[in-house]
Homo-oligomer: A and B are copies of this chain.
Amino acid sequence: MENDEKYMREAIRQAKKAYALDEVPIGCVIVYEGKIIGRGYNRRTVDKSTLAHAELLAIRKAGKKLDDWRLDGCTMYVTLEPCQMCAGAIIQARIKRVVVGCMNPKAGCAGSILNLLDVERFNHQAELTTGVLEEECSEMMKRFFRELRERQKKMKAAGNADYGK
C-alpha cells in the first residue's frame, strides 16, 4: 500500500531504540485510520520479561488508545516476522493486516515455520504483506548479530587472558 514504507520506517526507528539497548533490534507500530496508535521495541532482556516483544508492547499501547481489546481495522508494521506468541496475539487482537520487513526463517510464524496468521479454523485471519524495506530490516539484524559475536569473541579472549595471568 501507499504508506507501507513510511510506517515501516517508523518501525525501524523503534527497532533502533532496541539496538541502542543491546537488544535484538525489532520494532513495531500499529496504525489505525492513518494514525500510529501504538509503538513498541524489543525490551526482553532489559525488562526481563518474555512478554516484552515489540509487537506485544505495541498491541498493549494500541489497545489503551482505542480503549478496547479488539484492534479491528488496524495494521501492524513490524521489522521482523513475528514469533509464535506475537502471531498468536495478532490473531487474538483481530488485527486486520500485518506488514513485515524481513523474514525469520528459524523461528517466524507468519510463513517460515508456520503461518499462524492464516489458519482457517481460527476465528480470525490477518492479511499479510512481506518484504517492505526488507534489505534495511535485514541489514540491521545482521549488523547486530555480527557486533554481538565480535563482543563475545573479545570477552572470551579477555577471559582467556585473565586465566593466563
The A contact surface, by secondary structure, is: loop
Per-residue CB proximity of A52-84 to B under 8 Å, as 1/0?
A: 110010011001100111110000000000011
What B residues does A88 contact at CB under 8 A? 83-89, 109, 116
Determine how close the nearest CB of chain B comes to the CB of A98; give it in whole angstroms. 14
Of the candidates B49, B63, B113, B122, the one whose C-beta lies within 8 Å of that of A84 is B122
- A92 to B85, alpha carbons, bound, how many Å? 7
Tell me how many chains of this kind the complex includes: 2
Closest to A116 in B: B84
How many A residues have CB within 8 A of the partner chain? 39
A96 within 8 A of B: no
Inter-chain contact B113/A121, CB cutoff 8 Å: yes
A157 within 8 A of B: no
A48 within 8 A of B: yes
CB-based closest 4 A-B pairs: A85-B88, A84-B88, A50-B93, A88-B88
Known: A107-B122, A114-B114. 18 other contacts (CB 8 A): A44-B69, A47-B69, A48-B63, A49-B64, A50-B69, A50-B92, A50-B93, A51-B59, A51-B63, A51-B89, A84-B87, A84-B88, A85-B91, A88-B88, A88-B109, A106-B123, A113-B119, A113-B122
